[in-house]
Amino acid sequence: MGVIIKDIKKNNNEIIRVEISEYQGKELINLRIWYQTIDNGEVVYKPTQKGVALSVDKFSELQEAITKIAEYLHDKKHGTTPHNV
């Protein structure tokens, strides 16, 4: 189990979990879909195979991509032609 950064509700039964995890000694940024289920009478979330794990070395590239998404959405919202990314 890693450090949960954010759970984003996808629908009534699924979340997108953003977390920092470790696999074979490597620290990863993990974005994965988790589904809701009942385990021993408790509602719990379990991971699916749907997702992506990036080395933390790729964080700056991920951050750059998210910044470009924000710029694109801002331009689109304000009626300006979104610039090429």
Name residue 17's amino acid: R
Averaged pLDDT for residues 16-33:
97
Position 28 pLDDT exceeds 70: yes
Mean pLDDT of 54-70: 96
CATH number of 3-56: 2.30.31.10
**What CA–CA distances, in Å, run from 10 to 5, 32, 33, 36, 46?**
16, 11, 8, 11, 14
pLDDT at 80 over 90: no
The domain ranges of the chain are 3-56
Record the pTM.
Answer: 0.83
Q: What is the mean pLDDT of residues 49-74?
A: 96
